[in-house]
Amino acid sequence: MNVVTLIGSLRAGSHNRQLAEATAALLPAGSHVANVDFSTLPFYSEELDVEGQTPASVQKLRQEIAAADAVIVATPEYNGSLPGGLKNAIDWASRPYGRGSLVGMPALVVGASMSPYAAKWARGDAVRALGVAGAKPIDDTIGLGSSHEFLGADKALPEETLEALRAGVASLVAAVEQANLQAA
């Protein structure tokens, strides 16, 4: 299975990057996981999104997502919502309307935050944005609150979070298998 990750925090050691890696580690053996770097994308503008003139960074983003079977989105919560860069990547991947690289793509949303609320609003906003973009988000998102207590050197995820991640990954794998059956 080919999976791409969209990680809302661009910081190399972020808790959301660590949570995305922990999630990806639960994928079936032989899965290929690639992180999509969206840090160089321009802000979405229809004036830039013209056939034959679309920026190379956008073309790369769309190709990486289109080549995947599924996407894992890991989002922190910035001011009560998902980070602007992550939303911008979803916006670019949603175009052209009805034919964007996210259309029909199974998606699992996870989120970590240092607050006890586990990026709840950001996870909800990510599900909404992905759904409007045509993706097929898994119903349940997975959050890790007070992430600083569990992530970092010599720390481990709580068993309840690991169980939720296992269930989320199982749902994602089932969604990919269902999509493959429908495509056949």
Q: What is the pLDDT of residue 143?
A: 97
Q: Among the residues of 113-158, which ranges form H helices?
A: 120-132
- Measured CA to CA, the distance from residue 44 to residue 96 in angstroms comes to 12
Q: What is the pLDDT of residue 182?
A: 87
The residue-averaged pLDDT of 105-132 equals 97
What kind of architecture, by CATH, is found in domain 2-183? 3-Layer(aba) Sandwich (3.40)
Q: What is the pLDDT of residue 134?
A: 97
Q: What is the pLDDT of residue 104?
A: 96
Mean residue pLDDT of the chain comes to: 95
Domain boundaries, the chain: 2-183
DSSP string, 67-82: T-SEEEEE---BTTB-
- Measured CA to CA, the distance from residue 56 to residue 93 in angstroms comes to 13
**Does residue 87 carry a pLDDT above 90?**
yes
Element housing 110 (H / E): strand 106-112
Three-state secondary-structure class, residue 42: coil
pLDDT tens for 16-36 read 999 999 999 999 999 999 999
Q: What is the pLDDT of residue 80?
A: 94
Q: What is the pLDDT of residue 153?
A: 75
pLDDT tens for 35-86 read 999 999 999 999 999 988 999 999 999 999 999 999 999 999 999 999 999 9
**Does residue 169 carry a pLDDT above 90?**
yes
**Does residue 154 carry a pLDDT above 80?**
no
The residue-averaged pLDDT of 104-108 equals 97
